[in-house]
Amino acid sequence: RLLDVATGPGFVLSAALEVASSSNKPIQLIGMDISQNFLSMAKRRIHAQQQHLKGKPQSTNVRVDFVEGNAESLPFPDNTFDSVVCNFGILHFYKQDTFLRECYRVLRPGGKVSFSAWAPPTRTEGFGIALNAIADVGNLDVAVPEGPNFFRFGELEEATKTLEGIGYDNVGSVELSQMKWINVESGEMLYHILLNGTVRTREILLGQTEEQASAVQALVKQRYKTVTDEGNRPLSMPAVVSSGQKTI
């Protein structure tokens, strides 16, 4: 049994379904999110995929369910899952350690948690371009909703220390340094991706005056061209994947 927390549009759940559909074992996949809108998106994605997989005989062994729920209070009994995964969701959880303790609780002995987070702006060019532009011609001192450090688990040592402190065994973190944003074709596109597709960075961008916002956007466009050699190479956007195992 696998639980995908903060499943969003269901990207990880879809990948898990693809792998599980080749197995002869009965497998249950559960996508959980606090947003009904995201759950609806994930359901549509999985339904379309299941229609495509109908020709595989093993596909009938896989059951996919969806649950609305809070990551900091997982609505499942102890010792339920073999795996809990979270793809960039932990960045947005107010009580990140509580979430990881909840994962430990619902995992079966020997089960594993795995989660991803962005590396810091010094290594993620997209975030670096935008945040440095705001610092140079805008205002970083914008009131945003209280929350954790967005890049906390982008540091390998922090991720492993936290997991070990909770009680996980066989802890590890790895930076996927080859990850790129290959579909970001301009500085304007980058600006709007961060404006519409993030939470805290979006709030900082929205907190600029009209004059500051215009200056930030212009500088993002300029620096995108410089960093990407006029768009001839993609932005480097490494992520850190961390995991740990519940004591057997």
Q: What pLDDT score does 178 carry?
A: 94
Give the residue ranges of the chain where pLDDT is below 50: none
Task: Write the DSSP symbol of residue 75.
Answer: S
Task: Write the DSSP symbol of residue 141.
Answer: -
Nearest Cα to Cα of residue 195 among 222, 216, 225, 223: 216
How many C-beta atoms lie closer than 10 Å to residue 114's C-beta? 16
Q: What pLDDT score does 12 carry?
A: 96
Q: What pLDDT score does 125 carry?
A: 97
Strand ranges in 101-234 using DSSP code E only, listed in sequence order: 107-118, 169-176, 180-181
Q: What pLDDT score does 71 carry?
A: 96
Residue 10 phi, psi dihedral angles, 5° rounding: 90, 25
Torsion of CA 145, 151, 153, 158, to 10 degrees: -100
